[in-house]
Amino acid sequence: MILYYQTHSPFARKALVFAHEIGLADRLKVIHHETSPTRRNDEVYAENPLGKVPVLLREGEEPIFDSDVICAYLDTLHEGRKRIPEVGEPRWRALRMQSVAQVLAQTGIGLRWEWERRPEHLRYPELAKGYEEKIEVTYDWLEQTLSPEEDVDIGQIALATALSWMAFRYLPSFRNRPRLTRWFDAFEGRPSMQATPLSGETFD
């Protein structure tokens, strides 16, 4: 399988960390692709009409895109403990956390546009303040909600990769929340995270 990737994407990294966690990373050929809403990548568009990574290419099958869907597919390819729980409250907690993490990263992306990526005369300070508030409230919720003793699942993987990216891009810090910080630092030390470091700049 081929994974169209981006070394500075929290979503692509989530899919690759997931593959490491379930022992399938060695089955993936990872190819970096630069993408941006203002920078067309024809190779990516040929596989994903949204023009975004990650994209999973499978021999003889249609491509799969969106990190949520890629992770769900990969979780069907191994015989170990499923990282997307199949039933009951563990499933809904994991999927809820994944959703929170995804939107946190998207909000961070939006804030970066207002802080530095959009031409200065087009920036919208009130929108930036709204994004910042959402981020801070999410951090507060995570501080109260995280259960470090739970088995690693898709929600935790999504959250760790989102928080790592927030720090990588110097976005509002979560480190004044001690419980969240301890959890993140422990997760950041996992082999799956160490094998997939963030790197590179955004090209618009």
Residue (of 170, 200, 203, 163) closest to 10 by Cα position: 163
Strands in 55-57's sheet, in edge-to-edge order, are 29-32, 2-5, 55-57, 64-65
User: Phi/psi class of residue 32: alpha, beta or left (left: φ > 0; alpha: ψ in -120 to 50)?
Assistant: beta
Judged against a pLDDT cut of 90, whether residue 150 lies above it is answered with no
Class of domain 88-194: mainly alpha
Give me the residue spans of the domains in the chain. Answer: 2-74, 88-194
Judged against a pLDDT cut of 80, whether residue 171 lies above it is answered with yes
Q: Tokens in use for 104?
A: 């946190």
CB 155 within 8 A of CB 94: yes
Q: What is the mean pLDDT of residues 12-34?
A: 98
Q: How many CB atoms lie within 10 A of CB 169?
A: 18
Name, in order, each residue with C-beta under 8 angstroms of 133's C-beta and a sequence gap of 6 or more: none
Q: Which fold has domain 2-74?
A: Glutaredoxin (3.40.30)
Judged against a pLDDT cut of 80, whether residue 200 lies above it is answered with yes
Q: What is the mean pLDDT of residues 136-142?
A: 98
Judged against a pLDDT cut of 90, whether residue 147 lies above it is answered with no
Judged against a pLDDT cut of 80, whether residue 149 lies above it is answered with no
Q: What is the per-residue pLDDT across 78-93, written as a single tens digit (0 to 9) for each? A: 999 999 999 999 999 9
CB 204 within 8 A of CB 39: yes
Q: How much is the mean pLDDT over the chain?
A: 96
